[in-house]
């Protein structure tokens, strides 16, 4: 029995919502996305995450960035599939009509409020770390605050880049932000294992200067550039060090600064 199809047997905790799976799309044997109905009372800021669990006696809760914008009627999530993962081994089997639980309180640091004003916004991501930025790039405020918006996505293989490519294409055609996104938003994707046109880790491409050359922008400068980072623990650490090397300082919700890091959903 799939955990999500047996919801009626378990009582959803008062601290969580029980929502219906509206769609599921599998990208590779490691990646999939799903959409849930959105409770009318649920509010969040673009870039935040919630704790997700499947109905059960003792649910396993894991942090998931909300990959849809705060104005959307549905909630989107982008997930890895880990064969023996306590949550994702079951979550990857969900089907339309199943029930997924999520805790009512959203939180997170990858929010525009945690950055001081600037000219250019860099969103550094690897793998499923692109999820919070799927929300941020569809928020009109992003384009009110920045004149140049660069989303970087690096994965091992080309197939893992599909989600980001579809996302940016859809964002450029979006009714609300499409016009602004078409002018200001750029996607920089690269692979590190499969051979493609653009290869290399973001950290290496910054260190060599190739990244700035390819994008036609000057190197990162604390006077103009702001950053958001989301990926594996090692990637967070190295990207943070790179930004600090350019003179940027890390901010938080209560202390906005030049870049922010999401440490919630790694490990």
Name the residues that contact ligand A2P, by CB under 6 A: 126-127, 154-156, 192-193, 201-203, 231-232, 234-235, 238
The nearest distance, CB 156 to ligand A2P, in angstroms, is 5
Q: Phi and psi for 183 in degrees, rounded to 5?
A: -85, -35
Our CB check for ligand A2P shows the closer of 114 and 235 to be: 235
Distance set, CA 208 to CA 111, 211, 214 (Å): 29, 8, 11
How many C-alpha atoms does 236 have within 13 Å on its Cβ side?
16
Strand duo 99-103 + 49-53: pairing: antiparallel
The nearest distance, CB 211 to ligand A2P, in angstroms, is 12
Start-to-end C-alpha separation, the chain: 28
The nearest distance, CB 243 to ligand A2P, in angstroms, is 12
Our CB check for ligand A2P shows the closer of 54 and 228 to be: 228
The nearest distance, CB 150 to ligand A2P, in angstroms, is 16
Our CB check for ligand A2P shows the closer of 241 and 252 to be: 241
Q: How far apart are CA 254 and CA 138, in angstroms?
A: 24
Our CB check for ligand A2P shows the closer of 70 and 126 to be: 126
The nearest distance, CB 153 to ligand A2P, in angstroms, is 9
Strand duo 259-261 + 16-26: pairing: unpaired
User: Residues with Cβ < 8 Å from 186, sequence gap 6 or more?
Assistant: 148, 149, 150, 151, 215
Our CB check for ligand A2P shows the closer of 4 and 164 to be: 164
Residue 49 contacts residue 130 (beta carbons within 8 Å)? no
The nearest distance, CB 181 to ligand A2P, in angstroms, is 25
User: Residues with Cβ < 8 Å from 254, sequence gap 6 or more?
Assistant: none
124 DSSP β-pair partners: 152, 229
Our CB check for ligand A2P shows the closer of 155 and 185 to be: 155
């Amino acid at each position: 029995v799939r955990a999500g199809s047996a919801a009626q047997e378990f009582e959803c905790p008062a601290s969580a919502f029980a929502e219906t799976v509206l769609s599921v799309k599998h990208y590779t044997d490691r990646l999939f996305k799903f959409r849930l109905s959105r409770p009318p009372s649920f509010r969040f800021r673009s870039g935040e995450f919630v704790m997700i669990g499947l109905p059960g006696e003792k649910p396993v809760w894991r942090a998931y960035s909300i990959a849809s914008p705060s104005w959307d009627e549905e909630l989107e999530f982008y997930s890895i599939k880990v064969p023996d993962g306590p949550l994702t081994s079951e979550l990857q089997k969900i089907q339309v009509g199943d029930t997924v639980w999520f805790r009512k309180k959203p939180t997170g640091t990858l929010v525009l409020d945690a950055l001081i004003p600037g000219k250019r916004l860099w969103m550094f991501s690897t793998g499923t770390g692109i999820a919070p930025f799927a929300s941020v790039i569809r928020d009109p405020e992003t384009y009110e605050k920045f004149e140049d918006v660069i989303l970087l996505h690096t994965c091992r293989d080309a197939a893992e880049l599909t989600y980001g490519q579809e996302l940016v294409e859809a964002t450029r055609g979006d009714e609300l932000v499409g016009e602004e996104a078409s002018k200001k938003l750029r996607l920089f994707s690269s692979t590190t294992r499969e051979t493609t046109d653009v290869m290399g880790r973001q950290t290496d491409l910054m260190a060599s200067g190739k990244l700035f050359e390819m994008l036609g922008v000057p190197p990162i400068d604390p006077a103009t550039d702001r950053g958001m980072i989301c990926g594996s623990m090692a990637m967070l650490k190295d990207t943070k060090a790179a930004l600090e090397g350019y003179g940027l300082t890390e901010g938080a919700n209560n202390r906005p600064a030049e870049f922010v890091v999401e440490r919630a959903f790694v490990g």
